Structures are given as C-alpha cells and as structure tokens.
Chain A
C-alpha cells in the first residue's frame, strides 16, 4: 500500500528566510509522480510543484524547489525568500498510473513578519 508521511504538523519561518518541509513515501512502484499542494486558509488547494520519479533532476518553480531522493523515498519542499502569502497548509501527494492520489497529513506553515 502507498503511504505518504509528513512528520512536521507545524512549521514557522521568518519572512525572507528559507524553510524546508519534509515528506517521505512508501511504494513498490517504479513509475509514479510526486506533488506538493498548497491550501491557504479558507481557500482552494492549488498545485505548487511536481516531480517525475524517473527524473533525477529536482523540479523548480520560482522560489519553490524540491529535494527528491528516490532511494530514500524522500521528497522535501524548499521555499526560498518566504513571503507572507506562503502561509498555508502544505500537502505532499503521491500519484501512480490510474491517477489515484495519496496525500500526507499536511504541514501548517506560518510566516512571521
């Protein structure tokens, strides 16, 4: 069975600093994708970044980047130059063929002005 673990229920970061959110997953599949979603308070969940399992290069989207360690089954999200608008719940998700998603329990990120 696929499981996704986010071991940090809450994190905080000073504005303009860098923060890393952790995610590990368990799977026996070889072909899969990993995603980070952001859910601002009382707002819609939106896609932040995705990573293909067969690509060794880490995905990057502006201030957001991942550290993908396939052998360790680790997929962390790094947010650089944190902004107040980054405050949200962040979910790590795993997807396999058939497009079923498995989500972690989420990390609540607070950005301190």
Chain B
C-alpha cells in the first residue's frame, strides 16, 4: 500500500513565523501535491511537483512556497504565517502523468496560526 506521511497531525504557530510542513511518500511516485482544505471550499491546490527540484503553482500559491530536493519528500513552506492560513493541509502523491492515476493522501496537518 502507498504510504504518505505528514510530519505533524496538529501544529500551532504564531503570526509571522516561518512554518515548514513535511510530506514523505514511500512508493517512488513522480508527482506530489499540497492542498488546503477549508469547510465549504473543498480542497484547493497550492503547489505541485512532477519531479525533483521541479514545482508548479496551483490555484492558491500566494503566501506559500515549496521544496522538493528528493523524490520522496515535498515540503510546504509558509514564509511568514498569517491567521488566514489557519487550515487543514493535505499532501498527496501519484504515479505518472495519466488522468487515470488516483492521488494518495496523507492524514493531514491541522495548522493553527495565532
């Protein structure tokens, strides 16, 4: 089974802090994704990556950056956290470029910015 591991289930940070959310997958998947999930808004794509050192902006990249130095690890960075970034963050991975490939999700990180 695919295992996508997010480093923290719950995280509390302060406004202005630099925040790192880590995601690791163990299936050698090419693609990795970061979403945020908010009630009534569903999942919105922040950034994604099709390969090491490669990144693409999703629908809501403002205030975020990402890093993919190794194939199995995809980090989401909040450069200067703000209260409107309080949310559930989901990491996902998938194999190949086909539309048929399902995305596999981690357990999520519930981030609170105070």
Cα distance A100–B44 in the bound complex, in angstroms: 11
Q: What's the interface size class on A, roughly?
A: 20 to 34
Q: How far is the CB of A63 from chain B (nearest CB, A)?
A: 19
Q: How far is the CB of B44 from chain A (nearest CB, A)?
A: 8
B95 (CB) vs chain A CBs: closest residue: A99
Point out the residues of chain A lying under 8 angstroms from B107, CB to CB. 43-44
Q: What's the interface size class on B, roughly?
A: 20 to 34
A98 (CB) vs chain B CBs: closest residue: B97
The listed residue (A44, A96, A103) touching B42 by CB distance below 8 A is A103
Q: Cβ of A35 and Cβ of B102 under 8 Å apart? A: yes
* B positions within 8 Å CB-CB of A: 31, 33, 35, 40-45, 48, 90, 92, 94, 96-108
* A positions within 8 Å CB-CB of B: 4, 6, 9, 31-33, 35, 37, 43-47, 50, 52, 91, 95-101, 103-106
